[in-house]
């Protein structure tokens, strides 16, 4: 590792440490979404059972299972699982996931701003990015760690695009595609909002600085390859949602009409640990950060004042960043409701203020331009000014980066017990229950498998997340019930031969009538549907292409 890179990492640790200090405490804290440990435990068990890519959760869905990771973006939990496999507990793994997010965010923003305006600009932009109030909202209020990961990937995509626009190459083509795939796999809703804007940024930059049709076409293919990387998740999530109760995400509290912002809310310093409500009196902050806004304005004005000295790439970055910020702010407000009403798919976004995930990236980048024109950038007084700016960013926003209160016992919310996950966690996250499943007041099953009439001799040979196999000795015809919610992909077998399900009960369970007597073998498996199989092949092929391009090296598209 280069000494420069090591120095940036150490600087990032120092900058991020105050914002992350509560994560070093033994006691954790309450969040709006406290399901992360349970999700990680479910993914861990599924992987140990040989289920990959993970789609099914065994214990969520009140113990009847549900296709949690078929719809909920899985990448943050795969990363947390890698940390968990190093020997860390599930809760510590989730904590480290957040810490890694912060550090990578700082480094990417540092290098992005530093490449245009120097190291001081990189430090300021990275610090502004880490201490954006909305990052504190996701970290200490909402607990939206998937969205945090997506915010990081937005910055990574912009960094890759900046290199691609200036010097297109095979290597950069692959890295940008992987970054786009990572964004989709981190949080599908944030990706849905961000990708159109990122595509506009990419094509605008390529057209201005490359002016070659070949590069324009390759840019489109690059985004297509990135979507292909995430196809194993994105395609089933989009096409199979009608088989779930996902529509509950668009009604009641989750109806987007209740969550538009007023422009003044971007500049209010009020703070709270409550939720979003209709009107401007939310008990949660949507502030952009006073000093971030001031620095952004200075960065924008510097373009006007020093327009003759500003290089074309910097001009483009400032102008396009400002445009994205303004568009995203307007899309978060009532002024854009007509657009949301025009596109029915927008209802799944739920909260228009999710655009803050995009805003804080481009806003932070623009803060770097604010220090670019400081006189005597190598002088000691300039260093003092930079230190004052960085200290001010941290000082003015530090109060947001703390929890409302610590838990007396981490296990009260962040537990790993499968029985508790079935009983207590399932009602918190019922969004992706199969269509016929009951969503409330469901009693977990005493047994995963039952017979009616009952059978005296049953041996369970295999009982995993995604499959089961048992032998039974029948003296009379019976009905076998798997206390597992049916979802496309579950297939039943009798003596090795696929059998159609006799029925799916009114509550969504799978039944199989058996007319044979004597020794029988009954099995079931959650398999990939043709759609998922094709999506898997698209992802494998896309990853193979990315790997090939990276191995081939830095050949430029001249």
Decide if 98 contacts 148 (C-beta within 8 A): yes
**364 three-state secondary structure:** helix
pLDDT band at residue 431, thresholds of 50, 70 and 90? confident
Mean pLDDT over residues 223-230, rounded? 98
Nearest alpha-carbon partner for 244 in 77, 64, 70? 70
Residues with Cβ within 8 Å of 530's Cβ and at least 6 positions away in sequence, in order, are none
Residue 435 located in a structural domain: no
Q: Which of 451, 528, 445, 447 is nearest to 487 (CA)?
A: 528
> Based on the domain organization, do 392 and 453 belong to the same domain?
no
**pLDDT at 254 (0 to 100):** 82
Count of domains forming the chain: 2
What lies within 8 Å, CB to CB, of 415 at 6+ separation is 37, 38, 421, 424
- Answer yes or no: do 266 and 215 share one domain: yes
- Give me the mean pLDDT over the 133-149 stretch: 97
Q: Three-class SS of residue 390?
A: helix
388 & 488 share domain: no
Q: What is the pLDDT of residues 319-360, one digit of tens each?
A: 999 999 999 999 999 999 999 999 999 999 999 999 999 999
pLDDT value, residue 42: 97
Structural domain of 116 = 3-404+540-551
Q: Which residue has the tokens 């300039």?
A: 382
Average pLDDT over every residue of 162-174: 93
Q: Is the pLDDT of residue 315 over 60?
A: yes
Helix (H) or strand (E) holding 82: helix 75-85
Q: Is 522 helix (H, G, I), strand (E, B) or coil?
A: strand
pLDDT at residue 3 is higher than 80: no
Verify cis geometry, omega within 30 degrees of 0, for the bond prior to 453: yes
Q: Are residues 495 and 545 in the same domain?
A: no
CB 352 within 8 A of CB 85: no
Look up the CATH number of the domain holding residue 497: 2.60.40
221 and 277 share one domain: yes
Say if 535 falls within a structural domain.
no
Query: What is the chain's mean pLDDT, rounded?
Result: 91
| 509-514 and 503-504 strand pairing | antiparallel
Say whether pLDDT at 250 is over 80.
no
Same-domain check for residues 133 and 195: yes
For residues 274 and 381, state if they share a domain: yes
pLDDT(378) > 60 = no
For residue 309, being part of any structural domain is answered with yes
Claim to verify: residue 489 and residue 546 sit in the same structural domain: no
pLDDT higher than 90, residue 1: no
Nearest to 190 by CA among 231, 232, 145: 145
Average pLDDT over residues 293-316: 81
Residue 504 placed within a domain:
yes
Do the Cβ atoms of 370 and 296 come closer than 8 Å?
yes
Helix axes 170-186, 75-85, angle to 10 degrees: 90
482-532 pLDDT, tens digit each:
999 999 999 999 999 998 876 666 678 888 888 888 899 999 999 999 999
């Amino acid at each position: 590792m280069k000494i420069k890179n090591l120095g940036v990492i150490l600087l990032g640790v120092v900058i991020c440490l105050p914002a992350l200090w509560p994560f070093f405490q033994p006691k954790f804290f309450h969040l709006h979404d406290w399901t992360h440990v349970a999700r990680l435990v479910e993914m861990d068990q599924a992987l140990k059972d040989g289920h990959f890519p993970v789609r099914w959760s065994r214990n969520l869905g009140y113990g009847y299972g549900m296709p949690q990771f078929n719809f909920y973006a899985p990448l943050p939990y795969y990363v947390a699982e890698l940390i968990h496999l190093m020997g860390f507990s599930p809760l510590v793994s989730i904590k480290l996931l957040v810490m890694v997010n912060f550090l990578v965010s700082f480094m990417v923003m540092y290098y992005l701003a530093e490449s245009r305006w120097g190291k001081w600009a990189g430090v300021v932009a990275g610090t502004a990015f880490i201490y954006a109030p909305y990052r504190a909202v996701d970290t200490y209020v909402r607990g939206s760690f998937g969205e945090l990961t997506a915010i990081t990937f937005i910055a990574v995509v912009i960094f890759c695009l900046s290199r691609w626009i200036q010097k297109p190459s095979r290597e950069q083509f692959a890295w940008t595609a992987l970054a786009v795939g990572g964004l989709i796999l981190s949080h599908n809703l944030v990706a849905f909002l961000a990708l159109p804007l990122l595509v506009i940024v990419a094509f605008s930059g390529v057209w201005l600085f490359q002016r070659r049709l070949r590069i324009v076409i390759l840019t489109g293919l690059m985004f297509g390859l990135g979507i292909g990387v995430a196809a194993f998740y994105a395609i089933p999530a989009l096409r199979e949602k009608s088989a779930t109760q996902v529509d509950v995400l668009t009604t009641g509290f989750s109806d987007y009409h209740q969550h538009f912002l007023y422009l003044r809310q971007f500049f209010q310093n009020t703070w709270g640990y409550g939720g979003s409500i209709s009107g401007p009196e939310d008990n949660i902050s949507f502030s952009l950060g006073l000093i971030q806004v001031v620095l952004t304005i200075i960065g924008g004005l510097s373009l006007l004042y020093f327009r003759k000295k500003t290089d074309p790439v910097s001009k483009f970055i400032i102008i396009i960043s400002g445009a994205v910020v303004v568009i995203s702010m307007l899309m978060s407000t009532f002024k854009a409701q007509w657009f949301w009403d025009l596109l029915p798919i927008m209802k799944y976004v739920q909260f228009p203020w999710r655009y803050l995930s995009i805003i804080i990236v481009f806003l932070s980048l623009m803060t770097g331009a604010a220090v670019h024109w400081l006189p005597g950038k190598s002088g000691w007084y300039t260093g003092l000014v930079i230190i004052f700016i960085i200290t001010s960013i941290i000082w003015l926003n530090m109060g947001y980066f703390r929890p409302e209160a610590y838990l007396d016992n981490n296990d009260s919310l962040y537990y790993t017990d499968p029985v508790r996950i079935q009983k207590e966690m399932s009602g918190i996250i019922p969004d992706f229950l199969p269509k016929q499943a009951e969503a409330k007041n469901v009693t977990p099953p005493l047994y995963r498998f039952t017979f009616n009439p009952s059978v005296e001799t049953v041996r369970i040979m295999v009982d995993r997340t995604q499959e089961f196999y048992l032998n039974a000795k029948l003296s009379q015809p019976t009905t076998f019930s798997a206390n597992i919610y049916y979802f496309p992909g579950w297939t039943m077998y009798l003596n090795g031969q696929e059998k159609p399900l006799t029925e799916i009960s009114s509550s969504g369970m799978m039944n199989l009538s058996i007319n044979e007597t004597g020794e029988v073998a009954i099995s079931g498996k959650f398999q990939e549907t043709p759609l998922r199989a094709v999506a898997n092949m698209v992802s494998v092929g896309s990853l193979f292409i990315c790997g090939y391009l990276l191995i081939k090296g830095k050949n430029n598209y001249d």
